Amino acid sequence: MTNDSFATARIGPFFVTQGIHNLRDYGGYPVPGEGRVRSGVLFRSGQHMEASDEDLALIDALDIRTVIDLRGTSERSGFPCRRHPRFGAQVIAYDGETSNSPPHEGGGGQVVMTPEKARERMLAVYRRMPVNPAMIWIFREYFRALDENEGGSLVHCFAGKDRTGIAASLLLHALGVHHDDIVDEFLLTNDAPTRAILERQSLPRMEAHYGTIDPEALHNLMGVLPEYIDTYIAEVTRDHGSLDAYLATILGVDEDRKQRLRARLVA
């Protein structure tokens, strides 16, 4: 089975799936010169607990050799990913928790979830992420794997939008993609044709905690806003001077590694 078998099962960069939210190719963006980030090797998504057999066949066809699972231990045990019988990819995951209060779990106190409270909750996630030791560890492993491993890779968390969105954005920055394109790719989550999958997987628990959630508040929790990625970058820049300095000193992505990544992932 080849990627061509699924050519009609795509909407732009998104793969049409039955039980995986936000599965897409995040390659294809131009870099300085005449190159582009390679398509068909960099994939991102939400978790795969409800993946259908057809979804698993698609994942198998994509020939993914490395999976970087950004979820913590409790998320992985509570929402174990289904795997194809031929699945043989290396799975990289953190032994511990990577987020103390992910949006899909509710939590944070019994409150009425207004749009502003939802926005502030998500901004807090992005403010914590640059200094979260677990996220630093898993992002370092993500870059190491992309530097050293052959074949395609898949990075995912639960919804495939926050932790995963920053992972993809950091890589595209390291490859030389323009900031505007990085933000556009980050915001593509809002166009995912599989929003119903995410709502099925997480909304019942959220409403059990918060009650009925205002549609705008739900968008702030289940989608992404430009200020989410802006907040992450602002935190990094304040503490380290630039995103490149953070990549080099904290995540191990120095100029040599950038050049190796570009040689591997830019065509």
Give catalytic residue positions: 157
Q: Is residue 190 within 8 Å of residue 104, measured between CB atoms?
A: no
CA 158 to each of CA 163, 213, 224: distance values in angstroms, whole numbers, following the listed order: 9, 20, 14
CA 28 to each of CA 56, 177, 192, 255, 259: distance values in angstroms, whole numbers, following the listed order: 24, 10, 17, 22, 18
- Helix H, strand E, coil C: the string for 1-50 is CCHHHHHHHEECCEECCCCCCCCEECCCCECCCCCEECCCCEEEECCCCC
